[in-house]
Structures are given as C-alpha cells and as structure tokens.
Amino acid sequence: MTPIIYPDLIRFLQDELLVSASAIDFAIKQRGDFEPLPMILWQYGLVSLEQLDRIYDWLDSSL
C-alpha cells in the first residue's frame, strides 16, 4: 500500500464502512511489513468479506 493513499484509505474505512478508529489502530499494530491493512482487518473479523471487497474496489479505483 502506498503512503499517498494511506490517509485516504483510513478516511474511507471510517466514513464509508464505519470501521472504528480503535479497530484500525489495532490492525495497523498487527500488520507486518508486507501484510496489507485490509487483509488484517478481515482476518481479525473487523470487516466482513463484503466490506473487504468494497475496500479492494475502492483501492482499484483510487490508483
């Protein structure tokens, strides 16, 4: 994930998907160097599979 869209991704997660700031902070702390934030959110049950699809659709349209 590129740093340029990172703040926009956080804003999308909070504004569109209503993911809490604490859930996002938790996922950021859990991710390793190469683990994408959306997958961490999904693996820990912080977003649904449908939301994960929406995140990747948004990322595709943002690039």
pLDDT in tens, 27-53: 988 887 788 999 999 999 999 999 999
Closest CA to 44 of 26, 20, 19: 26
Per-residue confidence at 62, pLDDT binned at 50, 70, 90? confident
Whether 25 is in a domain gets the answer: yes
Structural domain tally of the chain? 1
3-state helix, strand, coil in the chain (%, to 5): 65, 0, 35
Closest CA to 17 of 4, 32, 59: 59
Report if residue 41 sits inside a domain: yes
Q: Could you tell me the pTM of the whole model? A: 0.84
Tell me, yes or no, whether 44 lies in a domain. yes
Closest CA to 41 of 12, 62, 61: 12
Two structure tokens written together for 9: 């991704």
Q: Give the pLDDT confidence of 1-35 residue by residue, as tens digits.
A: 444 458 999 999 999 999 999 999 999 888 877 88
